[in-house]
Amino acid sequence: AGRLTGRVAIVTGAASGIGEASARRLAAEGARVVCVDVSEQVQALSLELGDSSVAEIADVADDTQVDLFVRSALDRWSRIDILVNNAGIDGQLALLADGHQENYQRVMDVNLRSCWSTMKAVLPSMVAEGSGSIINMSSVGALIGFENLSVYSAAKAGMLGLTRGAALEYGAHGIRINAICPGGVLTPLAESFMDEGTYKAWADKHALKRFARPEEIAAVVSFLASDEASFITGSSLVVDGGMTAI
Ligand code: NAD
């Protein structure tokens, strides 16, 4: 039995990268996991994880779809102990003045609105249980600037605001709400804006001179979800290989 035995977790963006690694890790620690993704690939992961897992194909930017997968998790397992808000996109890489309006809206909706709508949907059941752990996947982009990623950075910084405010509002109910700010992580998202040549330049921005493996972020997700993090709330854990120390 692992430290999350009996817990029910929802992980968004579970078909790839950090979300997939997190779903695998939470399941390995004994949790039942609802794997949410807009991509049908999430079904393969859920099948692999077996009976203690279910796949939900949904767009987290759509409040109605969010309410549906939360409702279906509650119908199936009667409780939600852990929410990992991980689905995210970097969007169009562009200088601020060159950015498109639709890109602004989509990046805000997928990264920030979803953080609000999923928390709004799960909190009543967590209040009823008197416990819960919510983990919002922000980014070092919330803390330092990156060229061509200003809208992404704004959405990720917004997640820290939601995290702090909600942590204050729900702490008295035994619910902990935290964010993680990863540095570079080797996932399809990171690879999408990096050819092999630019990897080294980006790796060199970290004290450790490399990117993280998704499992290194999943380990922190699992820690924050567990009772070992029982006194941590309203915080953002910087898991960036020293990127913001440079
Ligand atoms: P990824 O692209 O490998 O995986 C993201 C997953 O989210 C994909 O499976 C995708 O289908 C899903 N997704 C995208 N939009 C969705 C939507 N509207 N509804 C449901 N699912 C959706 O990305 P990743 O690198 O694993 O990133 C995961 C999170 O970590 C993101 O929020 C990202 O901003 C954040 N992050 C990543 C890095 C990095 O370097 N990779 C660094 C800091 C923060």
Q: Is 245 a domain residue?
A: no
Pairing, β 132-137 against β 175-182 = parallel
Q: Are 41 and 14 in contact (CB under 8 A)?
A: no
State the chain's mean pLDDT as an integer: 97
Taking residue 29's Cβ as centre, other Cβ atoms within 10 Å add up to 17
In a domain, 246, yes or no: no
Rounded distance between C-alpha atoms, residue 184 and residue 30, angstroms? 28
- The answer to whether position 79 is within a domain reads yes
CATH number for the domain harbouring residue 200: 3.40.50.720
**63: which 2 tokens?**
């409040």
Q: Which residues line ligand 1 (CB under 6 A)?
A: 12-13, 15-19, 37-39, 59-61, 86-89, 110, 137, 139, 182, 184-185, 187-190
CA distance 81 to 27: 13
Distance 32 CA to ligand 1 centre (A): 21
Complex ipTM value: 0.99
C-alpha 99/C-alpha 57 separation (Å) is: 29
Task: Tell me, yes or no, whether 183 lies in a domain.
Answer: yes
pLDDT tens per residue, range 117-129: 999 999 999 999 9
Spacing, Cα 1 to ligand 1 middle (Å): 29
* 144 located within any domain: yes
Partner residues linked to 182 by β-bridges: 239
Minimal CA–CA distance to 18: which of 213, 214, 239, 238? 214
pLDDT at 186: 95
Task: Specify the residue with its C-alpha closest to ligand 1, atom 34.
Answer: 88
Range of the domain at 210: 8-238
The answer as to whether 244 is a domain residue is no
Residue 18 counted as domain residue: yes
Cα 167 to averaged position of ligand 1 atoms, centre (Å): 23
> 87, 114 in Cβ contact below 8 A?
yes
Structural domain tally of the chain? 1
Whether residue 2 is contained in a domain is answered as: no
Tokens of 94: 């562009």
The whole-number mean pLDDT for each consecutive block of 10 residues of the chain, a chain of 246 residues, reads 94 98 98 98 98 98 98 98 98 96 98 98 98 98 97 98 98 99 91 81 96 98 98 98 96
Q: What's the token pair of residue 15?
A: 């078909």
